[in-house]
Structure 1
Amino acid sequence: MTRKMIQMRNLIMVVLIGECGLLFGLYLLLNIPVLLTFSAYALIKNSVIFLIIAYISYILENNHLSVEEALNKDAKNAFLFGGIALIQYDENRNIVWTSDLLKAMNINVVGVKLLEWQPHLASLFDDEDVKVIDIKGKNLRLIIVKKQS
C-alpha cells in the first residue's frame, strides 16, 4: 500500500475516534440523553467503518504477487539463490512491488519514490546500463529493464 493511502487511512481512523470521543465528552459535560443516543450511534457506525477500512487495508497489503506465484517455486528459489532482486515502479517512479529477496533483507520500500530511496540511481535513467550500490553491506548491481508495450 502506498504511503499516501496509509496516511489517509490513519487520518480517517483518527477522525472516527475523535468523533466518538467528542460526542461522549459532550454527553458527560452536558448530561443530555439525546447525546448518549448520538454517541452510541457514532460508536457503532464508526466501529463498522473502522473494521471495513482495516479489512480493505489488509487486502491491499496482501494483494501482491510474489515471484513464486507469478512464475513458480523453482524460479523463486533461483532468484533467492542467485541474489536477484526485482523492483517494479510506476510512471512516477513510485515503487509498487519488490521481490522476495528484498523482503528477506527487510528492505520495505513499497510506496516510496525510487529516487528518494536511492537518489544516486538517477543516472540509470539517463545513460548508464549498470549501477552498483551498497545496501545493508551488500553490493547490488542495478539494471533498468524497459517495459515493452
Structure 2
Amino acid sequence: MKITPRRITLYMLFKLPLGYLSGMRVISITDTIAEVKIKHKWMNQNPFKSMFWAAQGMAAEMATAVLVMKAISVSKEKVSMLVTHQEADFFKKATGNILFSCAGGTEIINAIKKSKQTKEGQVVVLTSEGKNEEGVVVSKFTFEWSIKVKL
C-alpha cells in the first residue's frame, strides 16, 4: 500500500478517531521527512488556553510513525513497529497551527535493512520538532522505535 497524506487521513478517520477529530493532519511524506500539522482549538486545549501536551505528543508521534510506515511499505518486508520510550521538552505555549517534522527516514531504512540481515530487532531514535506559525520551536519529542523484520 502506498503511504500518502490522504490515506493516512482516511486511516485516522476509522482507526484513530481522536487524531482525526483533533484536527491532526499529515501534510507531507517523503522517504526521509514527514510533516504533521495540528491546530490549537477548543477540543485540544488545556486550562491555560494553549494546546494540551498530549495533543502535541499525538502529532509528534504521527510525524515519526508515518516515516516508519513509509519505510516499511517501500521495503516490502513484514515489519513490526512499536514505540518503547518517549521524552518531551516544551519551550513555549502552543497556539495557532503547530507543524511537527521528523527527518529520520534514512535511519529507519537502515534499521530495517540491518534487522533483515541480523534477524534481530533494531532501535531507532527519532526526533519530532513542533514549530508555531512564526517558526519558533514550541516542543520537541523524542521517540524510541523498536523495529523488527518478521521471518
Task: Provide the TM-score with structure 1 as the length reference.
Answer: 0.28
Q: Which one has the largest radius of gyration?
A: 1
Greater fraction of residues in strand = 2
Task: Provide the TM-score with structure 2 as the length reference.
Answer: 0.28
Greater fraction of residues in helix = 1
